[in-house]
Copies of this chain bind each other. A is one copy, B any other.
């Protein structure tokens, strides 16, 4: 793009002042451009991190996005705050398990050609698992849920292992000892995004235990995101799914 601008200046199509202005926007750095392109190409909704933001703030950002017909996903928003937002913007749907708000604005409904497996150790990890699931779905990626298949009753996992293995990528979520990703990692050959959760007590130390377990996994193909970061894991899964999709066309 720099090339084009310079040519226009040489041709007199653009004055030095105007060229400077244009290059002074993010576009002149060569990478901000991507930002816009990505949204258009991928239909990725903007995602608003709700924690620490006031309802009015979320409403303002949402209104700006509604003008562009983007889908809007708000994560980590509790029910009180969500209610305040929904009263003003009733097109939002609140899901209290995943603690997400979602508004469908885009008409793009092209679903991914494969699916992401969301695998979850216990019922207490449900909130994080659903944050991941809702995130992937907001990006038009198909999700299949495999919940309550923790390692202490490993036969529950085996009952579903074939379907998990067919996924493009798995998001594996576990609290307490966090051993599930290691076991899944030994059974599948696709990438695994592991999510430690803060579920547990005592020597769990708010998720530290599960986090260290996952970082030290002796199974290959596992990478880790922050404690309770269901959104982040799903985002990774989505962009891997896109790699698969983009080539199938």
Contact = CB atoms under 8 A, between A and B. Distances in A.
Oligomeric state, in copies: 8
Contacts of A19: 6
A243 interface: yes
A223 interface: yes
B32 A155 contact: yes
Given A10-B12, A191-B236, A203-B211, A217 B183 contact: no
A152 B218 contact: yes
- Measured as residues with beta carbon below 8 angstroms from the partner, the interface class of chain A is 35 or more
The main secondary structure of chain A at its interface with chain B is helix
Given A123-B53, A152-B186, A213-B178, A193 B223 contact: yes
A20 interface: yes
Contacts of A29: 29, 155, 158
A203 B229 CA distance: 10
6 contacts: A29-B155, A152-B183, A152-B220, A203-B211, A209-B212, A244-B244
